[in-house]
Amino acid sequence: MNFQLTKEQEFVRKMVREFAVNEVEPLAADIDKEHRFPKETVEKMAKYGLMGVPFPAEVGGSGGDHISYAITVEELSRVCASTGVICSAHTSLCCWPIFNYGTEEQKKKYLPDLLSGKKLGAFGLTEPNAGTDAAGQQTTAKDMGDHYLLNGAKVFITNGGYADVFVVMAMTDKSKGTRGISSFILEKGDEGFSIGKTEDKMGICASSTTELIFQNVKVPKDRLLGNVGEGFKVAMSTLDGGRIGIASQALGIAQGAFDVTVDYMKARKQFGKKLSQMQALQFEMANMKTQIEAARLLIYRAADSKDKHLPYGPQAAMAKLFAAETAMYVTTKAVQLHGGYGYTKDYPVERMMRDAKITEIYEGTSEVQKLVISADIFK
């Protein structure tokens, strides 16, 4: 057992911290207010290898590991949760399933551009009537001999409006339930494939969340990802990894709110004393820090298991459940410790509290995480 980061992982934190503070933080409040996708930041992230962290150099990745990837999303989210989820959805939900389930041709075709950040990825599973009940897919893919014909719609798709490559689930055989789902690679510009409504959200306002609409989209056979009927497995294993990303986002949000609160408490005086000198408030901070550290350990352990090709699904679910609850707890307390100022947009904790909430919902709600964890207990 070793709780020390490697030299490389330490450097990743140092590098992404510097990048985030210089390039991401200055935009965070504005892009949140304007609901603007930070295209320019994504280009910079691409240049420094942040869009392909946990993939080997041979397929065009940055050659890092999943702990480094978790640190990357954490450090980006520490200053801007929207930027963090752009990286997380792209890496975990689009690049990873292609890397893991793709044919050699698919990997050669898609990974170099995705991992270098020239192209952006997204993932389409959720439908209006298939959220937590992911098996209730209504999007269909009909085998037409030389191609599949896709019809249906997806909702709440992160990166939707800006992605070039999409991993999409559709029913190829309704009679088989979850074993009738298959996954496909779609490309922006495929005939009949369009982007629908952009959601107006409570938080992570600078990330793009859209509908995907498929109207008689002809998908060539070589864009089937994995085997026919394997889509549910592709989706569930992808989400296992995605949870490490979102848990890291939640951790980053919590750490960010904590850090600005420490600074605030050292400066703010009431009753002739700094807030940082008041024991009741110090104890609040001690609780917050303890939860943050516990979340971090859960996440890094899940990421380490993934790197070592050990089972990590329940670990990732526990990490995501706990980190998301920590993000909500810490940001809510951070606003409280800022008093009235914390409720205004002049201080970042207001945005952080709004951003934190989504981490309890997407990539599986907290309730879904409990399903995954309890299924493992009583298997």
Catalytic residue numbers, as ranges:
363
Q: Which is nearer to another protein, 7 or 309 (CB)?
A: 7
Q: Which is nearer to another protein, 119 or 333 (CB)?
A: 119
Instruction: Provide the CB-side half-sphere exposure for 234 (13 A, CA).
Output: 32
Task: Say if residues 166 and 94 touch (Cβ distance below 8 Å).
Answer: yes
Is residue 330 a contact residue for another protein (CB under 8 A)? no
Q: How far is the CB of 259 from another protein (least distance, A)?
A: 14
What is the footprint of another protein within residues 14-43 (CB under 8 A)?
A: 14-15, 18-19
Q: 3-class SS at 292?
A: helix
Is residue 117 a contact residue for another protein (CB under 8 A)? no
Return the range that interacts with another protein (CB under 8 A); candidates 63-71, 94-102, 303-311, 354-362. Answer: 63-71
Is residue 62 a contact residue for another protein (CB under 8 A)? yes
Q: How far is the CB of 64 from another protein (least distance, A)?
A: 5
Q: Name the β-bridge partners of 153.
A: 213
Is residue 76 a contact residue for another protein (CB under 8 A)? no
- Burial label for 322, CB within 10 Å (0-12, 13-18, 19+), is buried
Is residue 83 a contact residue for another protein (CB under 8 A)? no
Instruction: Provide the CB-side half-sphere exposure for 216 (13 A, CA).
Output: 0
Task: Say if residues 140 and 150 touch (Cβ distance below 8 Å).
Answer: yes
Is residue 337 a contact residue for another protein (CB under 8 A)? no
Q: Which is nearer to another protein, 24 or 235 (CB)?
A: 24
# binding residues, another protein (CB under 8 A): 21
In 10 A of CB 145, how many CB atoms? 6
- What separation in angstroms does the CA of 211 have from each of 39, 166, 201, 341? 19, 12, 13, 36
Residue/partner pairs of 303-306 with CB below 8 Å, 24 or more apart: 303/65, 303/66, 303/67, 303/69, 303/70, 303/244, 304/66, 304/67, 306/66, 306/241, 306/244
* One residue of 68, 158, 261, 305 binding another protein per CB under 8 A: 68
Task: Say if residues 87 and 51 touch (Cβ distance below 8 Å).
Answer: yes
Is residue 263 a contact residue for another protein (CB under 8 A)? no
Is residue 48 a contact residue for another protein (CB under 8 A)? yes
* One residue of 1, 2, 4, 7 binding another protein per CB under 8 A: 7
Q: Which residues lie near another protein (CB under 8 A)?
A: 7-8, 11-12, 14-15, 18-19, 47-50, 52-53, 57, 61-64, 68, 72
